[in-house]
Chains A and B, each alone.
Chain A
Amino acid sequence: MTARGLIAVSFLMLAACSTLPEQQFAVIAAHTEQSRAELARVVSAAFNGQPVTLADDALSRESVLLVERSTPPGAQGRAATGRTLGVPERLILVLRGTRCFLVRETDGREWELNEARCVPAPAGAG
């Protein structure tokens, strides 16, 4: 596990050490228009309001959402992203009791999803 992963898990566990129910990695069982819109809003909020494009089935097969810079139009866009030194941002979906949260791996900040129906992630989907 990476250091960033440990940070995220640590924050999750710190939260779990309190009175909160046990939590698990989760996926979204069945997207609706409302759940897609909410997810787009939340992910954008996690990046200070930057616009973000998501797949229609985002977080429905795995509990980790990888977010990266869009390749802008034009050859310049490819040039700009052709040698990327950084590492990606990851958001992790967790189920805490019946409540569903999206957790930003870098700092553990979390956002609750109210429209999505979350279920425990199948083995290997984390």
Chain B
Amino acid sequence: MRLSPWHKVVGCAVVMVVAASVASCGGGSDGGGSSTTPPAGGWVSGSFLPASSFAGKCVNPRSGTNPSSGLPYNETRGTATDENNFLRSWSNDLYLWYNEVPDRDPGLYPTPDYFNLLKTPAVTDSGRARDRFHFTYSTAEWLSLSQSGVEAGYGASWAVVSPVPPRRIVVAYTEPSSPASGVLARGAEILRVDGVDVVSSNTQADVNTFLDGLYPGSVAEQHTFVVRDTPSSGQRTITLQSVSITKTPVPLVSVVQTTSGRVGYLAFHDHILTAEQALVSAVEQLRTGGGINDLVLDLRYNGGGYLFIASQLAYMIAGPARSTGQTFERIQFNDKHTSIDPVSGQPLTPAPFLSTTRAGQPLPTLNLPRVYVLTGGTTCSASESIINGLRGVGVEVIQIGSTTCGKPYGFYPQDHCGTTYFTIQFKGVNAAGFGDYTDGFSPSNTAGARGTSINGCSVADDFSVALGNVNENLFETALNHRLGASCPTPTGSKPTFTKPFNGAVGEEAGAVVLKPPWLTNRLLEGL
């Protein structure tokens, strides 16, 4: 296509204005600063210098160019205590629950240990740690980029039904036109990887081997798998080679004609950038042929991503009458930062329901007063925002499946001395001011411990039937529920699913397998 004359005119006029605006942007918090008394030679409990006092004082200072800024590193030789002091002041300034963190002497701990202590010890009503999202990455790893939706793999997403021996890992779904497509189907069980028994092995070396095979780190890796397609079938051996996989964030859209109207089904797996147009196309498809009376939105494997995509989808479901002028999500930092985002320097204004794409295209709408949402332990973060945002403007959400992960929180990653730190800095609340779903959202008949209760049915994931099939347990329950049927016996209380690099493990299983975090880290169960 050719660039239009309109672009030429408007472009020449706008570029200077926007460039000036960008140049004027700035701000950000200096960190800490609740006291002006320097800790002369030592730690003074409750006294905090600004984090900038300690910034760039590193045990191992870096040189050269910082790839995230393009500027030279500005780091000098420091001590572990300097690094700890930076983290202490930074946390005191920005951590959401800063006033619950016990103040400890930064001179007494290695930096990784000290950071791990810079969080609230509080627990939720269910007994889980309130802060389950406190971690670090090497900055080099964190800075890596990818084309949207592209990663090395086979195109199979694995579900860890049981993370400990007798371990059970099955295929949740496959990407179209991928090495796994046509070779593995949903529900196929992985028995051996590169000769290692997945079901019963329990040594670190064996676990490392099968994880390396399941999650190739690069393209052109070849691994051998022994699989069983169904519980009653025999075993077979396959070899898969990793390639660059382009994920399909919206793989299934369909309409089911029922005796009480047309029901749309929409599977949405990832809030990645390519999802924007895919969701627009999906909603346009659902609107054809007279539209739909109800929507079943399948978020069971959606761990989140871009919040603006969550807002767009919520708008397309609710429509303008229910959402125009309403808040989709409002970000709240701690009580030191009530009006200005302390990192971006921008005013804290509520995020609206977005009615257009990023390119300005008006979004199609379904204008529904209610939505059925299929969930699992992987349903997390931006996916939970869809649920919470819709409930905030009075759209009825009916939940079928398992308790969601419970992550109304977010953070700005902070690089310091080569490590990128993640500490919870804000939470999102809906138009009604609600955002306290730390224990997740749970269908109302969930047995035992539950999160925020939502009308619906607790149903375990059903790997025996393809996604989108009306006989798949979650979808079938939703269809029956809208016809007035009561819920089946609750089965979906525990998180049971993971896909590559997600941490869906049972709560009680988190400490058993040692590597990597998605199989081990209790703080991340349910992702």
Contacts and interface: CB of A to CB of B under 8 A. Distances in A.
Interface of A: 1-3, 5-7, 9-14, 16-17, 22-25, 43, 47-56, 58, 65-88, 108, 120-126
A83 B307 contact: yes
A65 B149 CA distance: 11
Nearest to B2: A24
A15 to B, nearest CB: 11
Contact of A9 (B3, B142, B517, B518): B3
Contact of B135 (A1, A79, A88): A79
B3 A25 contact: yes
B25 interface: no
Contacts of B517: 73-76
B521 A50 contact: no
A76 B300 CA distance: 18
B148 A9 contact: no
A96 to B, nearest CB: 11
Contacts of B66: 48
A125 B1 CA distance: 8
24 contacts: A2-B358, A7-B14, A7-B15, A13-B12, A24-B3, A49-B65, A53-B144, A53-B145, A54-B146, A54-B147, A56-B244, A67-B145, A67-B148, A68-B145, A69-B142, A70-B151, A74-B501, A74-B516, A75-B527, A76-B135, A80-B142, A82-B410, A120-B1, A124-B1
Contacts of B135: 76, 79-80
B8 A13 contact: yes
B22 to A, nearest CB: 8
Contacts of B143: 50-51
Given A50-B144, A53-B146, A83 B524 contact: no
Nearest to B524: A75
A67 B521 contact: no
A72 B141 contact: yes
Nearest to A66: B148
Interface stretch (B255-263, B318-326, B380-388, B464-472): B380-388
Nearest to B428: A83
A120 B144 CA distance: 30
Chain B interface, DSSP helix/strand/loop, else mixed: mixed
Nearest to A67: B145
A68 B147 CA distance: 6
A53 B405 CA distance: 29
Contacts of B527: 75, 78-79, 82
A5 B104 CA distance: 48
A84 B382 contact: yes
A102 B464 CA distance: 46
A73 B146 contact: no
A3 B122 CA distance: 43
Contact of A51 (B70, B145, B410, B411): B145
Nearest to A125: B1
Interface in B52-93: 65-70
A66 B304 contact: no
Contacts of A124: 1
B245 to A, nearest CB: 8
B199 interface: no
A84 B305 contact: yes
Contacts of A16: 3, 8
Contacts of A3: 14, 18
Given A66-B147, A82-B527, 9 more contacts: A11-B15, A13-B8, A24-B3, A47-B145, A52-B145, A58-B147, A69-B145, A79-B422, A80-B422
A70 B524 contact: no
B426 to A, nearest CB: 9
A6 B8 CA distance: 9
Contact of A10 (B14, B146, B243, B381): B14
B381 to A, nearest CB: 3
Give the residue among A43, A51, A75, A88 with the most B Cβ atoms within 10 A. A75
A66 B273 contact: yes
B381 A83 contact: yes
